Amino acid sequence: MAAHVLLIEDEPNIAEAIRFLLSREGLRVSHSAEGAAALVLMRQDRPDLVILDHMLPGMSGLEVLTALRADPSSRGLPVMMLTARGRDREMAERAGADRFMTKPFSNAEMIAEVRSMLERGQDRQ
């Protein structure tokens, strides 16, 4: 069965590009444009990896990450934070992000990071 990635990104063009890129690599990708909706989706269909935008409408990416890390069922879930602002890296790492990627990023960089995180996630199980 293909690994499941939950993409939480509110910018439609970025979301579609990442979805296409990861789907082409054989991954199953779910998408949510809002943090609160993503938390509900996550409970319904647990992903193997979360790619989480920092700036989201309503509930920020950091708030989503804090909620994930507070819940025992998702505490160990690998999370990659995306942001257009490199200075947010320290806040994301303090909140529990496993990896951090600044927009814009290369396709090869995204694929390599996702593959690495999925492999590490399987090793933890």
- What is the pTM (predicted TM-score) of this model? 0.92
- pLDDT per position as a tens digit, 85-102: 767 778 888 889 999 998
> Hey, which residues does 101 pair with through a beta bridge?
82
H or E stretch covering 5: strand 4-8
Closest by CA to 19, choosing from 4, 32, 31, is: 31
Quote the distance between the C-alpha of residue 5 and its chain's center.
Answer: 7
Mean pLDDT of all residues in 28-36 = 96
Domain at 4-124, CATH class: alpha beta
Residue 125 has pLDDT above 50, yes or no: no
The tokens of 98 are what? 């496993």
- Does residue 79 surpass a pLDDT of 60? yes
